[in-house]
Structure 1
Amino acid sequence: MTRVTCGPLFVLVATVCLAACYDDPNRKYALEPLPNVQAGAAEQLARESNPFGDEMVRYLRGKPREDGNEFTLGVRFEPGGFAPRMDTLADLEALLVIMRDYPSLRIAIEGHTDNEGEPDKNRRLSQARADWVRQFLVERGVAAERVTSEGFGDTRPIADNTSPAGQKKNRRLVIRILNFDSRPVPVEFHQQPGDGR
């Protein structure tokens, strides 16, 4: 029996394809699977299509990154709303598959807002958004003890809140990896009779 460790691109493509196959009767959105990726321009296109999943898988495979163990989800919310827009769920689908593929992975979901409105309301809104993402994962089979959620409101800005562009950067959900056993997902190939390898 030969053990082969999958590369990050294979895991990314498999993650997105598996997420597209997940059949949830309550699902009210659609996710287009990534095309089959072979190399070159197609590989780059796949990475650009889901940079969140690609970066997280690369990190879990041991590639250091400037932002360390924090990843920003590319989900968008209606102003004042706690559930993400259905057309922005690709990162959540990728996160779900990654959580399934790495059963020792534990994460914290951190909600953040801009400084518009009352600070207490912003904290409650950021908590509701983080809780929504946690519930999304738990309802789809991720063990509740593997995921925590916390809302910080406008207390941890990463940009200036005086401009619309800065406010947009501050309205975010961050996935922080708490602990992780970095063993790769093993893939087994069985030699066929008469195969001279």
Structure 2
Amino acid sequence: MAHIDYYFTTVSPWAYLAGDRLETMAARHGATVTYKPVDLGKVFSATGGLPLKQRSQARQDYRLQELARAQAKTGLPLTIHPAHFPTNPAPSSYAIIAAQKAGGDTAALVQNVLRACWAEDRNIAEDEVIRDCLSAAGFDPGLADSGLLAGATTYEAYTEEAIQEGVFGSPFYVVDSGQKFWGQDRLDDLESHLAGRL
């Protein structure tokens, strides 16, 4: 049975546009998934990436076109310029880490958080929004508070692990076979790998 470490940041539109495809294909192939939110700024610093505002105008313009195309292909609602982006991804990341440890539908929580940012114009750094996302996924909203210390420690550990694994963007999928896939547009390749075709 394959295992996938899923590295991402909760403010990534590309992670949002992946929808539930990772979970669907993992179920189809009997694979398991561990959700590992990371501090993408630190990942970028270690791997040569640049924060959005520091990229050339050509790259920023291209990103907007790609987002519009990806939205059209997926059919998911998307606000290209959300009201609360960028925002601090750490609080929502801590909640995801605590929820995963508690057990339950972590995938639903991750998608709730991403959707809150990219389709609902909500600030995922705010406690109320995080609590709503937890509740909607069937978790105790109190995890937003109780998981802070452990969440912060694990968040840092996941970030360092990501750097060691060669992760340089979000979303990034690392299979225990050693194969790595960057971006929601590589999910078909990931599935082909799980099926033994790649």
TM-score by length of 1: 0.26
Structure ID, larger Rg: 1
Greater share of helix residues, 1 or 2? 2
Greater share of strand residues, 1 or 2? 1
Name which structure has the greater RCO, CA cutoff 8 Å, separation 6+: 2
